[in-house]
Amino acid sequence: MINPYFLSCVGLLLGWRVTMCFWKTISELVASLSINKSQMIQSLLTIIEYAIIKTPLMTLIVSSFLFSFSRVCYDYPRDSIIYFFFPMIIYLFIFYGDLIFWYDRIKDGFSKWFHKQADITVVLERIIEPSPIQIDLESVVHMCSENPGHIRDEVQVLWEDLKYRLKRSIFAGISTAIFSVLLPCVFVPTKTPLGISQKILVDEWWEFELGLVVGLTAFSLYITYLLPLNYLDLLHRAAVHLGTWVSSDYTKPQQTGFANWCPALWMPYGLYKEDEVVQTADGRYVKAKPNPAVKGVAADPMNSAQDMFYWLCSTPCKLMNIMCVFEFCLIAAQFWMLVLTTDWQHIVTLVLLMFANYLLLAKLFKDRIILGRVYEPSPEDLALVQQLQHELRMNQRERSAMRR
């Protein structure tokens, strides 16, 4: 019933992320093989990477998509083709700030090239190079600094990175729902293979429910992939050093003939100890509330983003708890839809989606247990750690005695 060329277009678009992961894996493999090798071997590996693997792969994918898309444009009216560009419009809306940053970077490169301050290769590098927004977890570690400026800068970078990962997950959910649910409804065949006109009835309410479930499932899968345990640990460590401010019950004294003590204005140069009261630029009085593991508060009391970051990440398991609750609610909603449906094709679809969400919930629950055992160990866990440490010390003593 469905047009095979349309199915090819949708499959290639949905599989684009898999292709990019394969592309990145090949780049990392070649980079690892090129370490400490001669210039000739590095050049040979680069030729193999692009001439034998990447270029034929991209040529095959792009040519297949263009051929299938041209057939879809021939078989369907232009009004239907417009729906293919809906994800692009959503991408512009979600990543507007990132695109402006990319445009300003290219504009600055062209300006330097026009004034002969840089070579044209600089402009080309700025066009090709992606925006350095999502940090590489393998090359980034938390810096346990007592400099409040460094702490705030680190939190700002992590906060922007967290928002970027969330936006990527939202776009992944919306685009997956559009390609897999909305477009098949738009590109319903209007004629049979024999050329006879036909009209297919579409259950619009079911398609809406299915699109919502598919979008939320894709979002949950992608956000789980982008928020691994080591990333959550990095966020928590930064939030611990940041600290936060709470409202103070201090009231401004009345004017008298005597000198009255008044909290000083907040300054960005030092750490503030626990319960230390300061005055903000808008006249509010706030009290420092550091994490018990650190000495003071480095947060800016006027920065709402830092307050939100501390609220989300100060407790190591809060983000994981939110993800677990979200996934449980999604499974409960799917189960309720399964109870109410009677069509066999709806039942099969919901069961398959529920199976994917069950696996994801099991993975999240396992990660939640790991985080809880690491950050909030039970007395049994502490006793086990002490026992292992004791056995390790005994083994070290036995080895030292044998050497003597």
pLDDT in tens, 159-195: 999 999 999 999 999 999 999 999 988 887 776 666 6
* Spatial CA neighbour of 100 closest among 74, 133, 125, 60: 133
353: left (phi over 0), alpha (psi -120 to 50) or beta: alpha
Q: Which residues pair with 244 in a beta bridge?
A: 289
DSSP alpha helix (H) spans, 115-197: 120-128, 148-177, 183-186
What is the pLDDT at residue 258?
Answer: 44
pLDDT tier at 316 (50, 70, 90 boundaries)?
A: confident
What is the pLDDT at residue 361?
Answer: 95
Most confident residue range from 44-53, 73-82, 143-152, 353-362: 353-362
pLDDT tier at 257 (50, 70, 90 boundaries)?
A: very low
* Spatial CA neighbour of 307 closest among 270, 280, 326, 283: 280
| Residue at token pair 């706030």 | 286
pLDDT tier at 118 (50, 70, 90 boundaries)?
A: low
Q: Answer yes or no: are the C-beta atoms of 72 and 11 closer than 8 Å.
A: no
Q: Answer yes or no: are the C-beta atoms of 3 and 72 closer than 8 Å.
A: yes
What is the pLDDT at residue 33?
Answer: 85
What is the pLDDT at residue 189?
Answer: 73
> What digits encode the pLDDT tens for the residues 125-155?
555 555 556 777 776 777 777 888 888 999 9
Q: Answer yes or no: are the C-beta atoms of 161 and 134 closer than 8 Å.
A: yes
**β-strands 277-279, 244-247 pairing:** unpaired
For 129, 180, 185, the CA distances from 94, given in Å and listed in that order, are 20, 20, 25
Quote the mean pLDDT of the chain.
Answer: 84
> What digits encode the pLDDT tens for the residues 268-311?
888 888 888 888 888 888 888 888 888 788 899 898 999 999 99
What is the pLDDT at residue 90?
Answer: 93
Check: pTM over 0.85? Answer yes or no. no
- Asked if the model's pLDDT at residue 401 lies above 80, the reply is no
The rounded distance, in Å, linking the Cα atoms of 109 and 119 is 9
What is the pLDDT at residue 140?
Answer: 74
- Asked if the model's pLDDT at residue 122 lies above 80, the reply is no
* Spatial CA neighbour of 299 closest among 327, 267, 321, 253: 267
What is the pLDDT at residue 49?
Answer: 83
* Spatial CA neighbour of 186 closest among 99, 91, 83: 83
pLDDT tier at 117 (50, 70, 90 boundaries)?
A: low
Say which residue, 381 or 13, is predicted with more confidence.
13
- Asked if the model's pLDDT at residue 390 lies above 90, the reply is no
For 73, 284, 307, 320, the CA distances from 213, given in Å and listed in that order, are 29, 45, 32, 21
- Asked if the model's pLDDT at residue 336 lies above 70, the reply is yes
| Residue at token pair 């350095």 | 132
What is the pLDDT at residue 327?
Answer: 96
What is the pLDDT at residue 127?
Answer: 58
Q: What would the DSSP string read from start to end of 284-337?
A: -EEEEE--TTSS-B---TT-HHHHHHHHHHSSTTHHHHHHHHHHHHHHHHHHHH
